Amino acid sequence: MADSLIPTVVVDDVHITYKVDGARTGRGSATSALSRIASRRQAPGVREVHAVRGVSFAAYKGEAIGLIGSNGSGKSTLLKAIAGLLPASKGRVHTHGQPSLLGVNAALMGDLTGERNVVLGGLAMGMTRAEIRERYDEIVDFSGINEKGDFITLPMRTYSSGMGARLRFSIAAAKNHDVLLIDEALSTGDARFQQRSKARILELREQAGTVFLVSHHNKSITETCDRALWLESGTLRMDGPAKEVMAEYERFTKKR
């Protein structure tokens, strides 16, 4: 149950815009770029994307909040803004504690072994070396990396995308977070890993953390989250109980 007196994230009329380079020039492009910088001209083909448009909400301790919406609706962009990785063009994001965006804070390196990446990822998530040593076996077991061989001793570049995603989640899940932001992590792995992941999210909530989850698997949202935010074309279309918001979203997608 969320503690309505203790907000962890407040998003206040946030707009996020960024520029996309839609065209690349060939020979002489460096000279052209310097010329544009000197004259303050915008590169040809560059367009501005208004990814998030006036979104406002507050999140509280103990909540698990699903972010749903069509592809390109601004879900991942909003997560990055809450994590402090993207500046708001307008409005403010206020957070209590340090938000952790899964897959960014646990930034793993392909040329290093899985075991070295556990150490690197743990340090990136703010764990001490002693904490990492204490939780190392738990992290590896949770990920299931070694269920079909000693993969934890191999370079990360030899892993499938699913194995890498499972290890990232396992590193992040080994630490308690004030705010944990998860982008599509529960869509990886087999049913057993997905159940372990959902159980860990429930534990994080019970320890007064706040969890944001982006997933295209509707069942993951309704089973894991008690609240959902529906973004469409960068705007907040609905905010309410996860099952109610999901039902409206499914009706919307069937009409399209």
* Beta-bridge partners for 113: 155
Residue 152: predicted pLDDT: 95
pTM of the model: 0.76
- Give the model confidence (pLDDT) of 51-83 as tens digits: 999 999 999 988 999 999 998 899 989 999 999
pLDDT at residue 242 tops 80: yes
What lies within 8 Å, CB to CB, of 108 at 6+ separation is 117, 120, 121, 156, 164, 167, 168
Q: 47-51, 137-141, 214-218: which has the highest mean pLDDT?
A: 137-141
What length does the chain have?
256
- Give the model confidence (pLDDT) of 12-52 as tens digits: 999 999 887 765 544 455 555 555 555 555 556 778 889 99
Residue 36: predicted pLDDT: 56
Tokens 């309410």 belong to residue: 240
Residue 69: predicted pLDDT: 93
Kindly state the average pLDDT of the residues 100-127.
Answer: 81
User: Looking at the domain covering 3-22+44-255, what would its CATH class be?
Assistant: alpha beta
Q: Which residue has the higher pLDDT, 250 or 37?
A: 250
What does the domain layout of the chain look like in residue ranges? 3-22+44-255
Q: 22-31, 161-170, 238-247: which has the highest mean pLDDT?
A: 238-247
Kindly state the average pLDDT of the residues 105-109.
Answer: 66
